Amino acid sequence: MAHFAELDENNVVQRVLVVANEILLQDGVEREDKGIQYLKSLFGVETNWKQTSYNNNFRKHFAGVGFTYDLARDAFIPPNYFSSWILDPVTLTWNSPISYPQDGHEYAWDEDTVSWIRVDECDTCNV
């Protein structure tokens, strides 16, 4: 089975669907274009699809709804939930500007103060 992400006009993933291997195979080789052709026949020629890897074997991350496909990197980038977080150019994951404390306590990110707040000391933390 192969997974394909449908992209909107901004390359944001709208959904991820599974396509059977026999649809993708040509001369025993799996071909992305065969899957795209099949999905366009089902959902319309105007739809935009990219194959994604459940095992992260290519395109960095398994695509999920809200991920963005970056054409220049040929990779899926997860959503960024905090404006202060920074995209790692190698892993294409979002990292906080301050390292997570390693003192055994549980923390939640607070974007207002751009800091980690101990969950047991926070009334408004969303954990």
Distances in Å between the Cα of 120 and the Cα atoms of 23, 76, 99, 112, 117 are: 52, 35, 19, 18, 9
Specify the pLDDT at position 126.
59
pLDDT, tens digit, for every residue of 26-37?
A: 888 889 999 999
26 within 8 A of 34, measured Cβ to Cβ? yes
List, for residues 36-70, the tens digit of each pLDDT value: 999 999 999 999 999 999 988 899 999 999 999 99
Which tokens is 101 given? 């404390």
Measured CA to CA in angstroms, residue 58 lies from 38, 61, 76, 124 at distances of 21, 7, 9, 39
* Model confidence band, residue 109 (pLDDT cutoffs 50, 70, 90): very high
The pLDDT of residue 116: 95
Strand partners, 52: 3
Asked if residues 52 and 3 have their Cβ atoms less than 8 Å apart, the reply is: yes
Residue 125: pLDDT band by 50, 70, 90 thresholds? low
Rounded to 10 degrees, the C-alpha dihedral 76/78/82/84 comes to: -40
- Look at residue 127 in the predicted model and tell me its pLDDT: 55
Give 5-28 pLDDT, tens digit per residue. 999 999 999 999 999 999 998 888
Do residues 108 and 119 touch, judged by C-beta distance below 8 A? yes
> Would you say residue 102 has pLDDT above 60?
yes
User: Who wins on pLDDT, 47 or 122?
Assistant: 47
Q: What is the pTM of this model?
A: 0.86
